[in-house]
Amino acid sequence: MSRYWLLAIGGGAASVLIYSLAGTVPGGLIFAYFTALPLYLVGLGLGLSAGATAGVAATVGIWIPGGGVTAIVFLVVTALPVVVFVRQALLSRNDAQGNQVWYPAGNMAFTLCVIGGLIYSAIALWLSFMPDGFEGTVRSFTEGMADTLLTQSAAEFRDVFVGKIAPILPGFAVASWLIMNVINAALAQGLLTRFQHNYRPTPEIASMELPHWLPLAAVSAAATVMGLLMPGSLGYYGTNLAIILFIPFFFIGLAVVHTLCRKKSIGPFLLIMFYGMLIIFDRLIIFVAALGLIEQWVGLRRRFT
């Protein structure tokens, strides 16, 4: 077997190892966020065929001890999105001057958003056939999570916790999945570039543009209205869909921040401070997404530069 295929299968095995650590070591939940990293390393470093092979190897490796349902969830939530993302990332064409033009970063973020919306819609449809319905099933899950996380001394906060988390849990779960996929892809590309094994040049986040942003904004607004006005499960579905659809504007907002910091001599320090605040104050995500939406309307980056 050639070195190419050994590396692909090894990437799948590394993904299975990280996945297994998430449930077996103390504090291992952090590993769950980086299960896709080896798959991105293989795909962005060796190409689509190797990335797909790594995804299949990881799915088989999880199916053997975990069973079919676990393997299918991994395939749909982790492996297939990586393959689609890698395929789009490695697309290129030649412009009129004969220069190679790679698939834009904004298009890749948009593609992930569409995948996330489709996965969310499929899960919502599936859960709607459960005895408690979509919203009731999510609430029951949130109550079980509260019982696990909260100690007896904090039991009085259980209803508050459930009341705040259950209404937005699906949307924020998919939004977190979207952001972590971008982080994993960026980490993989950075490592590959550092060791000169990258397949394509690293896209510049400050110049990211969002394709088809006006229809996306219209659908996001419609989902928001659905969440505010429609009763029951339809309103619940719309609220969480709106959260997912606004994530691409969050990435454009990050591009605006990078453009602003680039103009300053202490730009790297400002970026570190900004990302630290983003981690601490999660509601800042809303303002960054709003900044991205404003950027699409008025072109803040063109005015700054």
**Residue 114 class from Cβ within 10 Å (0-12 exposed, 13-18 middle, 19+ buried)?**
middle
In a domain, 278, yes or no: yes
Beta-bridge partners for 92 = 102
Contacts of 229 (CB under 8 A, 6+ apart): 235
Of 14-28, 40-54, 118-132, the one with minimum mean pLDDT is 14-28
Residue 74 to residue 172: CA distance in whole angstroms:
19
Residue 197 to residue 189: CA distance in whole angstroms:
9
Residue 281 to residue 297: CA distance in whole angstroms:
26
In a domain, 151, yes or no: yes
In a domain, 266, yes or no: yes
For residue 302, give the amino acid letter. Answer: R
Angle at 234 between CA 228 and CA 238, to 5 degrees: 55
In a domain, 231, yes or no: yes
Instruction: Yes or no: say if 61 and 38 are a contact pair by the CB < 8 Å rule.
Output: no
In a domain, 110, yes or no: no
Structure tokens at 137: 């099933």
Q: How many Cβ atoms from other residues are within 10 Å of residue 118's Cβ?
A: 11
Looking at residue 205, what DSSP letter applies? Answer: G
In a domain, 68, yes or no: no
Of 122-136, 146-160, 196-210, the one with minimum mean pLDDT is 146-160
Residue 274 to residue 265: CA distance in whole angstroms:
15
Of 88-97, 184-193, 218-227, 278-287, the one with minimum mean pLDDT is 278-287
- Which pLDDT value is given to residue 78? 94
Q: Which of 268, 90, 249 has the alpha carbon at shortest distance from 179?
A: 249
Structural domain boundaries enclosing 281: 127-168+205-305
In a domain, 79, yes or no: no
- Number of domains observed in the structure of the chain: 1
Beta-bridge partners for 101 = 93
Residue range 49-88, pLDDT digits in tens: 999 999 999 999 999 888 888 999 999 999 999 999 999 9
C-alpha distances (whole Å) from 260 to each of 206, 267, 293, 300 are 9, 8, 16, 10
Residue range 185-220, pLDDT digits in tens: 999 999 999 998 888 988 887 788 888 777 888 888
In a domain, 93, yes or no: no
